[in-house]
Amino acid sequence: MSRPPAPVRSSIPAAKPAAPGRPKDPGKGAAILEAAKRLFTAHGFDGASMDQIAAEAGVSKLTVYSHYGDKESLFAAAVKSHCEQQLPTSLFEARPDIPLRDRLLQIADAFFAMISSPEAVAGHRFLCTPQMTETPLSRLFWEAGPQRVQDAFAELLRLRVAAGQLQIDDVPRAAAQFFTLLKGEPHAQLVLGCGGLRERETRRHLEASVDLFLRGYAPR
């Protein structure tokens, strides 16, 4: 009789919980996040060691593990922190007192400024390398960054749909389409090193993208 096949193990490691013990120091946690963002951007995931991050933050390596559990969890936390700084939750509040087009342009400006920064472009290139596409890091990045932003924007869209300002059957799809429009060709040119848009051209691109989105989902 042949043996049953061995169970297939997932390639995605489970994030380790932060170590129990004394209450965590918020200041040290923030310093670790800032150090991680700088080093991951400069050296990539593999090139940035936990020893380097600890030294950059001015803490012990044990403190880094105590706050974030493991390197993968620290990477995801760094991505989330960067997105929250550039696109804070307040930016996705419904704010019915602000006209819809103005609200979308506010989000468009903040989003494009975030993805076009040198750090973001470097991170995008790093995540698209062959050695990264076959690891769990791409999924960690997506869930901590782009997926969070799209989910927050989708909630704003639902509120505006309920107010009769938009007509959208598939809100998550519309949210993804909005940010894809904003990235467009200009972001691809940045990633490929073909230069970037001037400030006036960037503004025209974002306004055209927002207007196209609004025409596509205008109440019929």
- The mean-pLDDT minimum among 104-108, 142-146, 207-211 falls in 142-146
Q: For the chain, what is the domain count?
A: 2
- The mean-pLDDT minimum among 11-25, 40-54, 137-151, 184-198 falls in 11-25
Does residue 3 or residue 211 have the better pLDDT? 211
Q: What is the pLDDT of residue 15?
A: 45
Host domain of residue 74: 26-83
CATH number at residue 33: 1.10.10.60
Residue 29 C-beta-side C-alpha neighbours within 13 Å: 12
Q: What is the pLDDT of residue 3?
A: 43
**How far does the chain reach from its first CA to its final CA, in angstroms?**
66
Q: CB burial class (10 A; 0-12, 13-18, 19+) of residue 109?
A: middle
Domain presence at residue 200: yes
| Average pLDDT of the residues in 59-88 | 89
Does residue 37 or residue 163 have the better pLDDT? 163
Q: Sign of the CA dihedral 160, 164, 169, 174?
A: negative
Residues 184 and 212 in one domain: yes
* 36-50, 69-83, 118-132, 144-158: range with highest mean pLDDT: 144-158
Q: What is the pLDDT of residue 23?
A: 56
Q: What is the pLDDT of residue 113?
A: 92
CA distance 218 to 220: 6
Residues 132 and 92 in one domain: yes
Domain presence at residue 116: yes
pLDDT at residue 165 above 70? Answer: yes
Residues 74 and 109 in one domain: no
Q: How confident is the model at residue 66 (pLDDT cuts 50, 70, 90)?
A: very high
Instruction: Give me the chain's average pLDDT, please.
Output: 85
- The mean-pLDDT minimum among 14-28, 38-52, 131-145 falls in 14-28
Residues 185 and 199 in one domain: yes
Domain presence at residue 2: no
Residues 47 and 103 in one domain: no
What Å distances lie between residue 73 and 28, 123, 129, 139, CA to CA?
Answer: 16, 17, 20, 12
Q: Which residue has 């791409």 as its token pair?
A: 138
Residues 206 and 112 in one domain: yes
Statement: the pTM of the whole predicted model exceeds 0.85: no
Does residue 163 or residue 122 have the better pLDDT? 163
Q: What is the pLDDT of residue 14?
A: 45
Domain presence at residue 176: yes
Residues 69 and 141 in one domain: no
Residue 12 C-beta-side C-alpha neighbours within 13 Å: 9
Residues 162 and 211 in one domain: yes
Tell me the per-residue pLDDT of 34-57, one tens digit each, with 9 for 90 and over.
Answer: 999 889 878 878 888 999 999 999
The shares of helix, strand and coil residues in the chain, as percent rounded to the nearest 5, are 70, 0, 30
Tell me the per-residue pLDDT of 107-134, one tens digit each, with 9 for 90 and over.
Answer: 999 999 999 988 788 778 877 777 777 7
What phi and psi values does residue 209 have, to the nearest 5 degrees? Answer: -65, -45
Q: Which residue has 């691809």 as its token pair?
A: 188
